Amino acid sequence: MGLCFSRGDRSTPRRRPSKRITNHSAAADGGVGSKRWTRIRSSRKEENLIHERALAAAILFQQQLQNGGVGTAPFDRSTSLRYPTGNSKKNQALPRSSSSRARSLTDPLLQPHQLVNQDIKLDNLETSHFVLVHGGGFGAWCWYKTIALLEEGGYKVTAVDLTGSGIHSFDTNSITSLSQYVKPLTEFLEKLTDGEKVILVGHDFGGACISYALELFPSKVSKAVFLAAAMLTSGQSALDMFSEKVEPNDLMRQAQVFIYANGNNQSPTAIDFDKSLLRDLLFNQSPAKDVALASVSMRPIPFSPVLEKLSLSEANHGSVRRFYIETLEDNAIPVAVQECMINKNPPEQVFRLKGADHSPFFSKPQALHKVLVEISKIP
């Protein structure tokens, strides 16, 4: 998660040209009249069931932690390592966002066949396997809408829990390096067969994590997608990037709670967030049920990895195609900070999600899905 400490004023870098695409989904939302709202009503029971199950799982996990860690009913690992099943029914309706807000045209209610061009054969793509890497404090659970949409379109999806995140039982305060934090991701990439490639998607601090992985396994990554994420240059840490005085972020400072597991006279071991400020900071455009899910599922962010400077080479990290997705209503990593990262380290293309907060997998799942599919099809 972006840490906003003030440093000396720095001049804004000269903007370098980068291809930018703003997501417009209105044209795809044909027949917006009564049929659209009929679909919303018909999916209400199913979406409520999905949310209730997700909340129940999160609450059970929270109870396990409070009872001393791993209990007598361990979670099935399949909740964080997801693969499409061979007998999934293509015509089943997908769970919809349960937001009480009027759905905007940037994220219309669409059926899977409207989101994925049926003329595109996934076999013709370099890879149809997405690996989703969560941000600081989040876990694989946050991608549940994205997983469902991608799998329905025929993609293979893996969502990992980084060390001490999600259902990974390791104590966050004991994580001392970025390599330790990213180990579940690097172990997964290491086990890929020769010639097998994936599309890495990193959210928030997950951007620094996928950059670390690109340096180690460039031949196993087809494309890297930074979603409102830390996109660092060599020699930078996440703290360096987010400490640059682009614009003040008082909300972030107010929300941060530092944890000193080794004593108050030692460096912080982790960062947590004030639960009362979570909605305003991370979920200001997200449905209430997703905010509730996050409030019982988020865990502290290990502090040491945030301080670690990356060593990235042009031969490895620089050889992988990079794409950035901006979130235009982001209160955690404001657009100005995202633009600063883009200008300093320009990716191949920049996509913009209108109306998306820092958690577009909750606030704009359909629009995010469309962009991910589009990136996968870029030759």
Query: For tokens 């980068």, what's the residue?
Result: 18
Question: How, if at all, do strands 256-259 and 270-273 pair?
Answer: antiparallel
In 187-231, DSSP assigns E strands to 198-203, 221-227
Rounded to whole angstroms, the Cα distance separating 171 from 302 reads: 9
Tokens of 38: 């009929």
Q: Which residues lie below 8 Å from residue 238, measured CB to CB, with a gap of 6+?
A: 2, 3, 205, 208, 230, 232, 305, 306
* Residues taking part in catalysis: 204, 330, 358
Q: DSSP for 276-340, please give it.
A: GGHHHHH-TTS-HHHHHHHHHH--PEEHHHHHPPP---TTTGGGSEEEEEEETT-SSS-HHHHHH
* Measured CA distances, 105 to 212, 221, 327, 359, 360 (Å): 36, 33, 16, 18, 15
Contact assessment for residue 105 and residue 23, using Cβ atoms and an 8 Å cutoff: no
Rounded to whole angstroms, the Cα distance separating 217 from 186 reads: 8
